[in-house]
Chains A and B, each alone.
Chain A
């Protein structure tokens, strides 16, 4: 009995790591935007949802192969991100931060109901069922393995972009001091748009990966949106490394907690853990104590 239990536990732990990769990807996008532009996109998970519909229509209706549709979706959501910045955030840059946040809440409404109106409330899926990998009595879906690998590659690419290119350096500099960089001859408006597009592209990548695991419906964003926000707050908003660590901590709690009961209870457990952590480390997991 104990042996079987351990196998399940191990399987849950590995699945938690796989889930953690995806959460880390989502958290990276949000953190990037927060760190540079100082706004939180409440509608981030809804951008992912639109991307998932994009994948669905490209693959199912236009018969594109998954690997052609994926880059197109990433471009689509990146464009959406830039558009979101131009239409909603840019006019509000000098407004109180809360207004920017609530405006993206309005965008959440718009995207959800747009999906309801345009695509209906039926559950859809790509119809691609990847095989399941069996290893020492444990089962892992290829969809998750692929998602984990692609998420890691995506994060490494963003890291290289930030460290090796001029634009990346400018983005990091703006994250450190918003006012002074404009004086140093950096066009902040351009950098903001690039950052928004980059954040959108990360959401697009996430949607390409999530579409393999989840059914698509207009409210699918609600099933991973809140947890992404928790990850970002626990890691410290704008703290990339903190978000990365927190993503894996949360994913493990959800996965191992879900082992004992439904997955929803894993979320509840994660939230309880989050409240406790706020008492212990209110400024984020990796923040220095003051």
Chain B
């Protein structure tokens, strides 16, 4: 990257870091934090999704990340600083157990989607089944400390959370960039076009796919843990299960799958949409946001499969050429 390319990123980052010191309306900061956390989760999903590995199991990874962290804190008093890595490892192990046979035995396309779909369904079932510990479908709250507490990763002020979420979001973009610049990217692109041809050309298909799946699962679990620490309330419906997985797919498709900022655009659009509906309709909005999501998702896939950002960039490029 040359300086010319990197300069807008740095300027944008500085502006984002400076924002809470200039403007600190708690409600708007709250929305921004949510957008940043979910952007990170959506970015994690598209790590795999952009290479044709469409997973509907990410709700499961997110649930594992959130619940393991919270359970360790409440029952064993393990600090999230330790709990989050443990939770991420658990999600990675889950990804390995499901991913390895899938990739080893060439389970792709529909099959892969259905297997991962079942995975998120099963994580939801486990959370519900262990209701004595997890609170089941009623949700779960990590024990609160008094005020802000670094060891417990609990902060009262929104500015701290904003900066944490911003850092994590930026980390997600850096990982994206890192994958983008690596040899694995070419291998994965070859695999997504033709697995047999890629294997014949000397690409270790199973290994490459597992690698990106593990990165994606680790990041998603991290997003789940972060969401849990920020919201201090998790329920199976908000962090795990099929609807969360589909929500990720939806946001990424709307934003644009193949661009590093696509998932972020998707998060901005979906969260703002949900908030506007919530403010406009109040409690009557229950269900309406998902109804609009669903209709938009279908329309986008039919008419704008590259997403908003992707289509915009494409249009700009063709204009510049002509």
Contacts and interface: CB of A to CB of B under 8 A. Distances in A.
Interface string A235-266: 00100000000000000000000000010110
A88 B298 CA distance: 7
A102 B290 contact: no
A94 to B, nearest CB: 12
Which of under 10, 10 to 19, 20 to 34, or 35 or more describes the interface residues of A?
A: 35 or more
Contacts of A111: 294
Interface stretch (A49-57, A186-194, A267-275): A267-275
A125 interface: no
A110 B291 contact: yes
Q: Which applies to chain B's interface (DSSP): helix, strand, loop or mixed? A: helix
A267 B121 CA distance: 10
B181 interface: no
A282 interface: yes
Interface residues of B, number: 50
B124 interface: yes
A264 B125 contact: yes
A102 B49 CA distance: 12
A101 B301 CA distance: 10
A264 B129 contact: yes
A234 B286 CA distance: 36
Interface in A178-226: 218, 222, 225-226
Given A108-B246, A109-B250, A264-B128, A237 B111 contact: yes
B253 A102 contact: yes
23 contacts: A40-B114, A42-B117, A88-B302, A91-B302, A95-B301, A97-B110, A102-B301, A103-B302, A105-B246, A106-B295, A106-B296, A107-B298, A108-B246, A113-B293, A113-B294, A115-B287, A218-B287, A222-B124, A233-B111, A233-B115, A271-B122, A275-B98, A278-B115
A148 interface: no
Interface of A: 34, 40, 42, 88, 91-92, 95, 97-99, 101-103, 105-117, 121, 218, 222, 225-227, 229-230, 232-233, 237, 262, 264-265, 267-268, 271, 274-275, 278-279, 282-283
Contacts of A95: 301, 305
A106 B301 contact: yes
Nearest to A284: B111
Contacts of B242: 108, 222, 225-226
A222 B121 contact: yes
B301 A229 contact: no
B117 A226 contact: yes
Contact of B110 (A40, A110, A117): A40
